[in-house]
Amino acid sequence: MRKVIIDCDPGIDDALAITLAIKSQKLDILGLTICSGNVPAEIGAKNASRVLEICEDANIPVYIGEETPLVRKLITAQDTHGEDGLGEAYDMNYDSNRIKKGGVQFIIDTLKNNNDISIIALGPLTNIAMALRQNKEVFNNLNSFVSMGGAFRIHGNCSPVAEFNYWVDPDAANEVYQNLPTKIHMVGLDVTRKIVLTPNIIELMHRIDTKMAKFVEDITRFYIDFHWEYEKIIGCVINDPLAVAYFLDPSLCQTIESYVQVVTTGEAIGQSMVDSGNFYRKPSNAVIAVDVDSKRFMKTFLNTLFPHDEIEVEAYL
Ligand code: BDR
Ligand code: CA
């Protein structure tokens, strides 16, 4: 069992990523730390708690972290994820007792007391940047760091060049790229855009496990409508679960190593500049996912959330 902290902003695809992480039974999830992103952190914490309820997990604590980006004003994605951040399903049974404050301190303390912690970051990097500002030393204990964010050879989803997580808090993203002692595994839109949950797959889910399928369907319906309206896709792109799957099995993605910095001002704000041509002559600080075996991802995702014996899921992907 690898020990992880999942830093996130739930968020529909964050919810699916947390579910994948728990159901994989391969991770010892020490805590979920929440930042503002898709929704304000307080709403995100309730959503995280709701997901833990669905997964019937009684032990994982939820910590609210930073409520605003380092410099920019918070811009949420409630148009994409719904006012409640979970597709306006308003199915809100959750245990408020597991929600605590002090996300940044939790990250620092956990790293201080262990030397085998990894972080999977599924939202803006505000909590991580804050923790680095307050105690850079403890990050020497960090095992590995995966960040869903950025875009390399593909267009952004907030501007022609910027992906949402880095665009919401570009200052935090850049600080993390410049200061983390270990290389960041950047799982960006180049690969996550290839992960599409289609109605066919949702129908298949229903046939296997109605309760879990109902949760997935309830939270993704709004998201699917958004995708049709803005992108003319039937289905929805689920970014964050790929970061978890990649952490569990890096062979899912092809990668390159390079120096990355994040643009913090001007028109290109939030862009992840991947110096694959080595113009800056700086040592690489990132491992960037450039391609993915999307069918293998979806197979793993389905087999993990919807364990079954005799169904060959391949035919539906
Ligand atoms: C990222 O932005 C958020 O809306 C998603 O949860 C994901 O983390 C994709 O750009
Ligand atoms: Ca997210």
Ion ligand 2 neighbours, Cβ < 5 Å: 9, 11, 14, 122-123, 240
| Residue 88 identity | E
Can you say whether the dihedral through the CA atoms of 107, 219, 195, 153 is positive or negative? Answer: negative
Task: Answer yes or no: are the C-beta atoms of 128 and 142 closer than 8 Å.
Answer: no
pLDDT value at 92 more than 80: no
- pLDDT of 274: 98
172 alpha carbon to ligand 2 midpoint, in Å?
15
Residue 57 is predicted with a pLDDT of: 85
Compute the average pLDDT of residues 283-299: 97
Cα separation, 43 vs 88, in Å, equals 12
91 vs 109, more confident: 109
Q: For residue 88, give the DSSP letter.
A: T
pTM: 0.97
Report how far residue 237's alpha carbon sits from residue 82's, in angstroms, rounded to the nearest whole number. 15
Catalytic residue list contains 309: no
**Mean pLDDT, to the nearest integer, of 86-92?**
83
**What percentage of residues in the chain have a pLDDT greater than 90?**
87
